[in-house]
Chain A
Amino acid sequence: MSRFAKIVKLDQKAVKTLSESYQLGHHDEITYEYKSERGLTAKMVADLSSRKNEPEWMKELRLRAFGLYEMMPMPGWVPDMSGINWNEIYYYLAPTKGTSKTWEEVPDAIKKTFDKIGVPQAEREMLSGVKAQYDSEVIYGSLRKSLSAKGVVFLGMDDGLAKYPELVKEYFSRIVPLGDNKLAALNSAVWSGGSFIYVPKNVEVELPLQAYFRINAENAGQFERTLIIADEGSKVHYVEGCSAPAYSSGSLHAAVVEIIVKKGARVQYTTIQNWYKNVYNLVTKRAWVEEEGQMRWIDGNLGSRLTVKYPACILAGRKARGETLSIAMAGSGQHQDAGAKMIHLAPETTSQIISKSISKNGGRATYRGLVKINKGARGARSKVVCDALILDPRSRSDTYPTNIILENEVSLEHEATVSKVGEDQLFYLMSRGLPEHEAEAMIVNGFLEPIMKQIPLEYAVEMNRLVELEMEGSVG
């Protein structure tokens, strides 16, 4: 949109403030208790398990996963990852011993980082529980007493394994098998941190449980593992927000999230991903949904250099429902390869995918989705809506939908639109007195609005702010 006057001035400002505009781009000095050597060997995997005092079966599982990781090729469709130097990544870092229970016990340097990303605010605002991951270990967590009284478990994954080994053994890697894909295998081998949640039968957790993740050390790979088990008739909303400080060489984030939604249970999983723009964010997220259960993924991708992530629902029981609302924003040097997968295995299952992507300043946004309706899933219904907004001619948007239908009597709708922020829309708002970048940000926020209103208010506010920060650096 260079035809409006004054662009040159704004452009120079934008370049100057580009790094400043990433407000979370600070780097705190922290003494790491343990830092593994660079690169990965079977011995390191075994050492990691021993040091964490894990049961023998977990060590074996890790080693099996490591074997698979070494054997498996990268999936064919995965975009260019040549920026990752696998041997340069630290696979395990532990900032402090154990998990602190109260805010007061958290070390100051770590507190400062959390202050900047707003964890204490969330605490003050009486959110039901806070888990925060600093590099690899959960170092701060609190859970409201009322939740504990109802039998709700909300722990770091390592603690979960120590305290509920049987439950973890039953479900760990059941939804995402060790050899599901190369990165899931890697995560299974070296996972550390993440959340473990169990919600008992018919218990409804009213306020969202939340965790913040952060990559702090340069080249620190973060391999958190999250397992959520929502027992029959229960309800829970889990919120994950990510941010990472500024570094020059690429960091890797390869997480695995497994969710079991039992009969009649409802789970929502909200992610706001704002990794710094050198992070490779390669995540496998999958939910197993039983009869009349409901799973909803809200997946916001603003940061990272490359994100590859397609939250999935396996609709295994009659009338199970899966939903994914996906937002991707790809700026200069970014590629957001995001989408969703819905696998209908049972009759009368329903699914909906709504994807909104924005590409600007040469960024690339890709929607990649799969809807599969298996033999036997009679009366299944699915709806897919993909809207892409392209802000300038240098940017790119692609849509790769795959539909596999093996049953008759099903319904599948697919809508896709691609729009460009029109000169006429910009002119309209500018003629009412809005400067160009404000007008553009307003159009972008409006485009995202249908998804924003599904997100809890404080996250929607944060997300809006992040979008605006992104837009400020985007003029020209």
Chain B
Amino acid sequence: MALEVKGIKVKIEGKEVLRGVSLEVKAGEVVALMGKNGSGKSTLAYCLMGHPKYIVSKDRGTAIRLDGLDITQKTPDERAKAGLFLALQYPVSIPGVSVREALLASLRSRGEKISALELKKRIEMEAEELSMSEELLKRSLNEGFSGGEKKKMEILQMRILAPKYAILDETDSGLDIDALKIVAEGASYMASKKKTGILVITHYQRLLSYLKPDRVLIMNLGKIAKEGGVELATELERTGYKQYE
């Protein structure tokens, strides 16, 4: 039971941004992916979720597998149905669509029978856990939200959709310390209680003091440069990324 990534290569405008990335996130495991700007972290996140802008080259042995199911050529909605979730670094706004409408359609499209009222209650409960104001739930999704509110809204959606594997793309950026704690606790709970495998992408070690990773991966120039335990993140804080260049 794992999200397996094998030898992913991606070119953008002729430039190789991912140069053969392999990693694995097991069910219930928290894996931190660190690296400086431009190292390819976000590209990898998009690529795993199936954004059409990032085309994975079809080399022999290249694959993205979710609990054994090959999702390399699947559309984003099919990947979501298989149990993958991506909390975006910059969630877009959808004018005129509330989080409830979006989630109701998501849940129903994967065949869940949930009433609109039931969902409303669940959303309100999650919002309270995440200290989000109810007013945000009525607004258009992400429209006029602060950076922190957007990130919380991503976590809220993750918790309702209860994916098997979740990628958190710089969910910590733009969060104050209280929000950071809440978001980290929300994610930890998913990993420990729901056995969600979490790939957390971040620049800083800060988040990792609340969301304890089982392993840390360091990415540089489109490749995983080093893999280690949580001590790797602490060391990184001290020495910076230079040594991996």
B73 near A5 with CB under 8 A, answer yes
Residues in chain A near residue B95, CB distance under 8 A: 446-447, 449
B92 near A434 with CB under 8 A, answer no
- When C-beta atoms are compared, the residue in chain A nearest to B52 turns out to be A3
Q: Mark A421-458, 1 if CB is under 8 A from B, else 0.
A: 01111011111111110110011011111100000000
B77 near A428 with CB under 8 A, answer no
- When C-beta atoms are compared, the residue in chain B nearest to A441 turns out to be B105
Q: Tell me the residues in window 85-99 of chain A with beta carbons closer than 8 Å to chain B beta carbons.
A: none
In this complex, the interface size class of chain B, counting residues with CB under 8 Å from chain A, is 20 to 34
| Interchain CB contact (< 8 A) of B49 among A431, A442, A445 | A431
- When C-beta atoms are compared, the residue in chain B nearest to A424 turns out to be B92
Residues in chain A near residue B102, CB distance under 8 A: 429, 432, 434, 442
- Given the known A-B contacts A3-B52, A4-B52, A5-B73, are A432 and B106 also in contact in the complex, defined by CB atoms under 8 Å? yes
Q: How far is the CA of A460 from the CA of B136 in the complex (A)?
A: 24
Residues in chain A near residue B49, CB distance under 8 A: 427, 431
A429 near B157 with CB under 8 A, answer no
- Given the known A-B contacts A430-B77, A430-B80, A434-B109, are A423 and B53 also in contact in the complex, defined by CB atoms under 8 Å? yes
B92 near A443 with CB under 8 A, answer no
B74 at interface, CB cutoff 8 A: yes
A4 near B94 with CB under 8 A, answer no
B52 near A443 with CB under 8 A, answer no
Residues in chain A near residue B110, CB distance under 8 A: 433
Tell me the minimal C-beta distance from A448 to chain B in angstroms: 7
Residues in chain A near residue B80, CB distance under 8 A: 430-433
Q: How far is the CA of A433 from the CA of B108 in the complex (A)?
A: 9
What number of A residues sit within 8 Å (CB to CB) of B?
A: 28
Q: How far is the CA of A449 from the CA of B96 in the complex (A)?
A: 5
Residues in chain A near residue B107, CB distance under 8 A: 433
Tell me the minimal C-beta distance from B41 to chain A in angstroms: 17
Q: Mark B114-152, 1 if CB is under 8 A from A, else 0.
A: 000000000000000000000000001000000000000
- Given the known A-B contacts A434-B109, A446-B140, are A427 and B94 also in contact in the complex, defined by CB atoms under 8 Å? no
Residues in chain B near residue A6, CB distance under 8 A: 75
B92 near A431 with CB under 8 A, answer no
Q: Mark B85-101, 1 if CB is under 8 A from A, else 0.
A: 11010011011110001
Q: How far is the CA of A85 from the CA of B24 in the complex (A)?
A: 68
| Interchain CB contact (< 8 A) of B105 among A423, A434, A436 | A434
Q: Tell me the residues in window 185-236 of chain A with beta carbons closer than 8 Å to chain B beta carbons.
A: none
- Given the known A-B contacts A423-B52, A432-B161, are A438 and B105 also in contact in the complex, defined by CB atoms under 8 Å? yes
B92 near A446 with CB under 8 A, answer no
- When C-beta atoms are compared, the residue in chain A nearest to B140 turns out to be A446
Q: Tell me the residues in window 1-43 of chain A with beta carbons closer than 8 Å to chain B beta carbons.
A: 3-6
Central interface residue in A5, A424, A436, A446, by most chain B CB within 10 Å? A446
| Interchain CB contact (< 8 A) of A442 among B73, B79, B97 | B97
Q: How far is the CA of A442 from the CA of B49 in the complex (A)?
A: 20
- Given the known A-B contacts A423-B52, A433-B81, A436-B75, are A428 and B92 also in contact in the complex, defined by CB atoms under 8 Å? yes
A435 near B94 with CB under 8 A, answer no
- When C-beta atoms are compared, the residue in chain B nearest to A450 turns out to be B96
A427 near B76 with CB under 8 A, answer yes
Residues in chain A near residue B75, CB distance under 8 A: 4-6, 430, 435-436
B52 near A431 with CB under 8 A, answer no
Tell me the minimal C-beta distance from B104 to chain A in angstroms: 10
Residues in chain A near residue B92, CB distance under 8 A: 422, 424-425, 428
Q: How far is the CA of A388 from the CA of B192 in the complex (A)?
A: 47
Interface of A (DSSP majority class): helix
| Interchain CB contact (< 8 A) of A443 among B51, B97, B109, B157 | B97
Tell me the minimal C-beta distance from A421 to chain B in angstroms: 10
Q: How far is the CA of A422 from the CA of B52 in the complex (A)?
A: 12
Tell me the minimal C-beta distance from B233 to chain A in angstroms: 27
Tell me the minimal C-beta distance from A452 to chain B in angstroms: 8
| Interchain CB contact (< 8 A) of A435 among B52, B53, B73, B109 | B109
Residues in chain A near residue B79, CB distance under 8 A: 431
B109 near A428 with CB under 8 A, answer no
- When C-beta atoms are compared, the residue in chain B nearest to A444 turns out to be B96
Residues in chain B near residue A429, CB distance under 8 A: 94, 102, 105
Central interface residue in A423, A429, A438, by most chain B CB within 10 Å? A429
B77 near A443 with CB under 8 A, answer no
Q: How far is the CA of A446 from the CA of B157 in the complex (A)?
A: 19
B182 at interface, CB cutoff 8 A: no
B23 at interface, CB cutoff 8 A: no
B236 at interface, CB cutoff 8 A: no
- When C-beta atoms are compared, the residue in chain A nearest to B76 turns out to be A430
- Given the known A-B contacts A4-B75, A428-B88, A430-B76, are A443 and B94 also in contact in the complex, defined by CB atoms under 8 Å? yes
Q: How far is the CA of A439 from the CA of B92 in the complex (A)?
A: 13
Central interface residue in A422, A433, A438, A439, by most chain B CB within 10 Å? A433
| Interchain CB contact (< 8 A) of B97 among A430, A436, A445 | A445
B27 at interface, CB cutoff 8 A: no
Q: How far is the CA of A448 from the CA of B76 in the complex (A)?
A: 25
- When C-beta atoms are compared, the residue in chain B nearest to A1 turns out to be B52
Q: How far is the CA of A438 from the CA of B91 in the complex (A)?
A: 19
B230 at interface, CB cutoff 8 A: no
A4 near B76 with CB under 8 A, answer yes
Q: Mark A123-143, 1 if CB is under 8 A from B, else 0.
A: 000000000000000000000
Residues in chain B near residue A449, CB distance under 8 A: 95-97
Q: How far is the CA of A450 from the CA of B139 in the complex (A)?
A: 12
- When C-beta atoms are compared, the residue in chain B nearest to A389 turns out to be B95
Tell me the minimal C-beta distance from B163 to chain A in angstroms: 9
- Given the known A-B contacts A6-B75, A429-B94, A430-B76, are A438 and B86 also in contact in the complex, defined by CB atoms under 8 Å? no
- Given the known A-B contacts A429-B94, A447-B95, are A434 and B106 also in contact in the complex, defined by CB atoms under 8 Å? yes
Residues in chain A near residue B103, CB distance under 8 A: 432
A-B contact pairs, 15 of them (CB 8 A): A3-B52, A425-B92, A425-B94, A427-B51, A428-B92, A433-B81, A434-B102, A434-B105, A434-B109, A435-B77, A438-B105, A442-B97, A442-B102, A445-B96, A446-B96
Having A434-B106, A442-B94, one finds 20 other A-B pairs with CB under 8 Å, namely A5-B75, A6-B75, A423-B52, A423-B53, A425-B92, A427-B49, A427-B51, A428-B92, A430-B75, A430-B80, A431-B50, A431-B88, A432-B161, A435-B75, A438-B105, A442-B97, A442-B105, A445-B97, A446-B140, A450-B96
Sorted nearest first, the 9 A-B pairs with minimum C-beta distance are A446-B96, A449-B96, A3-B52, A433-B80, A446-B97, A430-B76, A433-B106, A432-B106, A430-B77
> Which A residues form the contact surface with B (CB < 8 A)?
3-6, 422-425, 427-436, 438-439, 442-443, 445-450
